[in-house]
């Protein structure tokens, strides 16, 4: 387990196993949904990103990293979720449904998963076991960064998703 001082929100290279570091707060623009049924996640992401990028362009705000999903509750049949992107600055005017938010500051654990999205549940389980085995306690929020932008031509086995969790002090 390495401990860099502060890797980028989305590391250019995959994380090599479990990595723990201190991170500053990162401004974001998101759509937020409470009690979202897990079956409605894909449409939520699609509608969010369809609205998000034109809204940022209209404000002259640039994304500074890949899209993410930030969980503010533990998923069950529903989840409290933010979907968005980190940005270079907070925009002044956003359309309804989009909000200024932030990825949290603090001690963060991260790892990289490569594979289809339907394997993320197992990847999260393994990641949380690694966090506990290293003597840390995961906290909420936790998030996934979709480093590889999916497309209809994508090979699902090559999709890279970085997993992050805030750690209790």
pLDDT value of residue 151 = 83
Per-residue pLDDT of 17-49, as tens digits, reads 999 999 999 999 999 999 999 999 999 999 999
pLDDT value of residue 10 = 58
Best CA proximity match to 71, nearest among 143, 166, 146, 168: 143
Residue 161 in contact with residue 123, Cβ under 8 Å?
A: yes
pLDDT value of residue 152 = 85
Better pLDDT: 154 or 99:
99
What is the length of the chain? 169
Q: Which residue has the tokens 């003597």?
A: 135
Better pLDDT: 153 or 82:
82
Residue 36 in contact with residue 73, Cβ under 8 Å?
A: no
Please, which pLDDT band fits residue 1 given cuts at 50, 70 and 90?
very low
pLDDT value of residue 2 = 39
Please, which pLDDT band fits residue 11 given cuts at 50, 70 and 90?
low
Residue 3 has pLDDT above 70, yes or no: no
Tell me yes or no: is domain 19-167 CATH 3.30.70.360: no
Per-residue pLDDT of 86-139, as tens digits, reads 999 999 899 999 999 999 999 999 999 999 999 999 999 999 999 999 999 999
Q: Which residue has the tokens 């992050």?
A: 164
- Dist. CA 128–CA 6, nearest whole Å: 21
Give the CA radius of gyration of the chain: 15
pLDDT value of residue 164 = 98
* Residue partners of 14: CB distance under 8 A and separation at least 6: 112, 114, 160, 162
Residue 5 has pLDDT above 90, yes or no: no
In our burial notation (b when 16+ CB lie closer than 10 A, e otherwise), range 22-41 reads: ebeebbbbbbbbeebeeeeb
């Amino acid at each position: 387990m390495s401990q860099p001082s502060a890797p980028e929100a989305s590391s250019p290279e995959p994380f090599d196993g479990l990595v723990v570091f201190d991170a500053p707060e990162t401004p974001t623009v998101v759509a937020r949904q409470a009690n979202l049924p897990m079956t409605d996640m894909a449409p939520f992401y699609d509608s969010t990103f369809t609205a998000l990028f034109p809204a940022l362009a209209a404000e002259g705000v640039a994304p500074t990293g890949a899209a993410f999903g930030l969980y503010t509750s533990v998923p069950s049949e529903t989840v409290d979720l933010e979907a968005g992107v980190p940005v270079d600055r907070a925009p002044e005017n956003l359309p309804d449904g989009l909000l200024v938010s932030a990825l949290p500051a603090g001690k963060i654990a991260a790892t990289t998963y490569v594979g289809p999205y339907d394997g993320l549940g197992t990847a999260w389980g393994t990641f949380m076991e690694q966090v506990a085995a290293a003597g840390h306690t995961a906290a909420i929020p936790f998030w996934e960064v979709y480093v590889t932008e999916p497309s209809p031509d994508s090979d699902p086995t090559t999709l890279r998703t970085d997993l992050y969790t805030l750690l209790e002090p």
